[in-house]
Structure 1
């Protein structure tokens, strides 16, 4: 399921640390890794030369830090707009996962600050693992998936099971948030979590693959509840589906709802205190 991983490095953040933790997972260890650094356009030849040399050092440092099998890693140094080049290289290598650092900028701030990770996520159909600069990257044992009826959510469940199936002592937290405030209290909902049809189906799927799971049923605003539960449960990796609502003709245009921060995935990307893997569907 994950044969090609693209790691975009900038010399800052925790993206390299995240990949190192991912490489501890048996199902990931055979994947080929492309480490990418993009040199943005410069106004003078001297500045371009300096940035190019700096980029080479950033790549070399990242590869040294990762300590990967030389036969499984490829380094790429490209010139261009980072927000465009990351997506282009992901398509070239047919990446199954993009790993990037993220400053976790909020809403329109991410547009004004020209957030590369935010822009790439809007335009790519590939799963994307965002690692904020201000979080602590841990070994992956406790994985949470936000579960609903969408294909994107089910794809996230499949990804989580793929990652957890060979992790000794790993645990899957299945979370569904009800937005109906007239529903039973949170305490009553928790008791009924195992019998909720969406969670029960997901738990049965995990059981068939030998993955230990726990079901959590919450009430409230999905983004806020998912973030608070992930922190409360000390989650190492959170997976959230992000259905693409745009018509086919508009796939190359940014989803404005997400950019202004009104989507679940955008809220979680900004506020979660652990790395977040955002995905659409396997067929996307």
Structure 2
């Protein structure tokens, strides 16, 4: 279940709107929300005092704007490097989901410009919902899950079913892309798509959970196809598993493949025209 949500609020972007849309989902309306604002360290005492005052106002405005049940919301104002503080607070509260804004920086630029959301995702095993600054946050009705045989994809599917089970008129779109790096793309929908065993297995889970769904089997460049299909189907939330390929000895280090932009999750994070929720490990979401 999603019982503890961490909203890393910088005072800009659409993360607050995303949380409000998410909290309309019946299955998570009782979740406890921690709103975090991080004040960067300053050189002088006067500057530090000023930043603390500004940070306190940002935090207070965010809590007021969200209009959540006071018994289910907590505000935290911390000083330090935002990347490290978000990770630390997520561990402290044992967050089931982290929500962050994202500038959608491409590839190496995300390293050079010190992307907080990219860094946090590399070093956290917790699901992350990334909201780019240039997208429109909609009421969540249509969720797409990119499925494959990975454990992370199964986690995405379980979480999507958890979200959709109580959404009236909710629709799940299951997409499996067979990689075709030549650039040729193709897709089939419905019964024809369910001939794909990966899609068929995911569809069976959706049917068992009583969730309305459609299946799409596609071929082409996975990142491009997933983003294209999400846009064509007017998806409100795109969910994607992102398996951690680092050896256990390097779990504390960023995955350079992702940081350099060669991963599927990085492509989708940058190019999707809707919010993107990324997961890694399977969690026990009640269905």
Q: After TM superposition, is the score higher than 0.5?
A: yes
Partner of 2:210: 210
Segments of 4+ in structure 1 off by > 2 A? 184-192
Mapping for residues 59-208 of structure 1, pairs under 5 Å = 59-180=59-180, 186=186, 192-208=192-208
Q: 1:147, 1:175 within 8 Å by CA — same for their partners in 2?
A: yes
Tell me, yes or no, if the aligned pair for 1:144 and 1:235 is still in contact at 8 Å. Answer: yes
Any idea what SS the aligned residue of 1:143 has?
Answer: strand
Gap change, CA 1:249 and 1:219, over 3 Å in 2: same
Determine the C-alpha separation between the residues in 2 that align with 1:195 and 1:174: 13
The equivalent residue for 2:229 is: 229
- Output one character per residue of 1:148-204: Cα deviation in whole Å (capped at 9) or x when no partner: 00000010000000000000000000000011479x982568762122111011111
Give the conservation status (yes or no) of the 8 Å contact 1:242–1:278: yes
The root-mean-square deviation of aligned C-alpha atoms, in Å, is: 1.6
Q: Is the 2:181–2:221 contact (alpha carbons within 8 Å) kept by the matching residues of 1?
A: no
Residues 181, 219 of structure 1: 8 Å contact kept: no
Equivalent position SS for 1:41: coil
Corresponding residue number in structure 1 for 2:24? 24
Shift of 1:282: 2.7
CA distance in structure 2 between the partners assigned to 1:215 and 1:46 by the alignment? 58
* Residues 20 and 185 (structure 1), Cα distance of their counterparts in 2 relative to 1, 3 Å cut: closer
- Contact kept, 8 Å, 1:141 with 1:169, in 2: the verdict is yes
Displacement after TM superposition at 1:88 (Å): 0.3
Deviation at 1:113, TM superposition (A): 0.6
**Aligned partners of 1:57, 1:189: CA distance in 2, in Å?**
49
Unaligned runs of 5+ in 1: none
SS in 1 for 2:277: strand
Contact 1:190 1:218 in 2 (8 A): no
Distance (Å, rounded) in 2 between the aligned partners of 1:115 and 1:94 = 23
Aligned equivalents of 1:187, 1:243: Cα separation in 2: 24
